[in-house]
Structure 1
Amino acid sequence: MTDKTTEIDVVFFDGTSGFSRRSQPVIRERPVSLHVNGNELVTLLCTGHHLQELAAGFLYAEGFLRRPEDLGKIEVDEELGRVEITCANDLSHVNQLWTKRTVTSGCGKGTLFSFALDALRSKPVKSTLRMSAENVVHRMEDLHRLSDTYRQTHGVHNTALSTPKEILVFRDDIGRHNAVDMIVGHCFLNAVSLQDKLLVTTGRLTSEMLIKAAKVGIPVIVSRNTATTLAIELAKSLNITLIGHVRAGKFIIYAGEERIETS
């Protein structure tokens, strides 16, 4: 077992043998509060791992950090579920952004620091990334092979950063946006470019996922799940390749088909 899960006693029912008691791995869930320059900003519901990456990725994706120099330090108190972030830049606009928060469809986090329509004013993502259909299918297969916690609990979303040929970073969490933020945070803290990478996920493809990808410059998002109408509209306007229902060697391209080689 890992610190992402815990064993509990449950009553199990089987249509053949009836009821029985057994030990069952269950995914951990805990609140973690982010404090920026001494002020509490938000509480995230998450599994509780890679908290430095989660905090940095959240702040970068939401525009509070723009460059590595903006980040002073990150201090994590795992016992209290508290992350203290010191930023060098002026964050007096935080309270104004908080009053403009919108409730999102994401699990593990209920707010997003921007209106969905802000994405329409973002610059379209520029990237020369190209990949084959086989690349799409094989990277989803790789994601499944890395999904030990999901196989134990069926309680997390899996997300990976990849090149067309290999997975580079894998993260999982109860919230698909938390998993994405961890990856974005990893790249922010380690100066990894996102403009020639794809994001592979098990989560739904919704508008807030597209907004997050556009803000950090991710050109391709691949999921085993479906896309919403607004996500597809945003993908087209933001020049993001959006691929869903990657299962059993098949998939659907909702937008950006020019990045997928057809021959």
Structure 2
Amino acid sequence: MHHGSDRTPAQKASAVHVRIFDGQRFVERSQLVVNERPVTLYLNQREMVTLLCAGKHLDELAVGFFHGEGFLQSRTDLQEVTVDDSQGKVQVITSREASLAENLWQKRTITSGCGKGSLFYYAVDALLSKPVESSVALSAQQLRQHLEALNRMSETYRQTHGVHNSALATPDEILLFRDDIGRHNAVDMIVGHAFLHGTSLQDKLLITTGRLTSEILIKAAKVGIPVLISRNTATSLAVQLANSLNITLVGFARAGKFTLYSGTQRIISEA
């Protein structure tokens, strides 16, 4: 059905020679930096977008990206995913004819790289972003435990400080961890993995180390994720959208404390 490159894992980091100024003098040493490479996604033989990423889990990245953009609605839409690791290309074949999403795609601007993603303010997003209905709830203690677990998992971050980490979780446990140079890529991989494995997102939490922006919030809303948690801050537009889309938004989650911006009904205080 689909095949990918993940059986032979690519290196996430490379050693480079650097000179570090320690305040008084230069010290020569080897240091790990996170890998970055362009990967081009094709839909039905047509080049759609080039993403800058760390080069891992490219099948999940492509499927998650296209699912979030509305090109893949259900599992039966997906016929094939082919990853050409050496060329940095992923081909996704779908069973649908040119959809509304594909027609609207012509009108969109795509930007790539860390901190940027597709621009989401077209009609397709209004259609796909409907208020999230989910009764999932978690305690403040569970939230703290998840953040601690995410920190333990982020080995590449400790080596390079060059990636964003994301995890998919239930209130009880972390199910899946992904990291990448772009926080959007890591989220797309999680969405793609869930899509490929038939995992429902309606009762899950998405935990990320990236800023909570309108883009990441719309990405979550389009696939029905009810809870977004980050150790970072939220933007004003993200909070506004979270309130209108009924998404629970938690920021500054670190050292046992957190800020609850919206969707307070899903977080239970122990007191």
TM-score range, shorter chain: over 0.9
Aligned with 2:54 (options 47, 62, 82): 47
Distance 1:209 1:194, change over 3 A: same
Aligned with 1:5 (options 10, 13, 17): 13
Maintained 8 Å contact 1:102/1:114: no
The alignment status of 1:149 with 2:156, answered yes or no, reads: yes
SS at match of 2:146: helix
- Cα displacement (A) at 1:2: 6.5
- Cα displacement (A) at 1:136: 1.1
Match of 2:3 in 1: none
Aligned with 2:90 (options 64, 78, 83): 83
The alignment status of 1:250 with 2:223, answered yes or no, reads: no
Unmatched runs of 5 consecutive residues or more in structure 1: none
- Cα displacement (A) at 1:114: 4.6
Match of 2:145 in 1: 138
1:9-48 correspondence to structure 2 within 5 Å: 9-15=17-23, 18-48=25-55
Percent of residue pairs bearing the same amino acid type = 60
Distance 1:249 1:163, change over 3 A: same
* Alpha-carbon distance between aligned partners in 2 of 1:73 and 1:124, rounded to the nearest angstrom: 31
- Cα displacement (A) at 1:124: 0.7
The alignment status of 1:71 with 2:78, answered yes or no, reads: yes
SS at match of 1:31: strand
Letter in 1 for 2:150: L
Aligned with 1:218 (options 211, 215, 225): 225
Maintained 8 Å contact 1:102/1:115: no
Letter in 2 for 1:208: E
Unmatched runs of 5 consecutive residues or more in structure 2: 1-8
Distance 1:27 1:152, change over 3 A: same
Post-superposition CA distance 1:220-256 (Å, at most 9, x none): 0000000001000100000000000011110000000
Maintained 8 Å contact 1:61/1:216: yes
Post-superposition CA distance 1:162-185 (Å, at most 9, x none): 011211000000000000000000
Letter in 1 for 2:230: S
Aligned with 2:180 (options 162, 173, 176): 173
Maintained 8 Å contact 1:98/1:113: no
Maintained 8 Å contact 2:203/2:226: yes
The alignment status of 1:261 with 2:268, answered yes or no, reads: yes
| Deviation larger for 27-36 or 102-111 | 102-111
- Cα displacement (A) at 1:99: 3.2
Match of 1:182 in 2: 189
SS at match of 1:111: coil
> TM-score under structure 1 normalisation?
0.94
Letter in 2 for 1:223: S
Distance 1:103 1:58, change over 3 A: closer
Letter in 1 for 2:152: R
Letter in 1 for 2:23: G
* Alpha-carbon distance between aligned partners in 1 of 2:21 and 2:220, rounded to the nearest angstrom: 42
Match of 1:232 in 2: 239
- Cα displacement (A) at 1:63: 0.5
SS at match of 2:71: coil
Letter in 2 for 1:155: G
Q: How many residues were matched structurally?
A: 262
* Alpha-carbon distance between aligned partners in 2 of 1:231 and 1:108, rounded to the nearest angstrom: 14
Distance 1:104 1:44, change over 3 A: closer
* Alpha-carbon distance between aligned partners in 2 of 1:105 and 1:77, rounded to the nearest angstrom: 20
Distance 1:104 1:33, change over 3 A: closer
Maintained 8 Å contact 1:76/1:84: yes
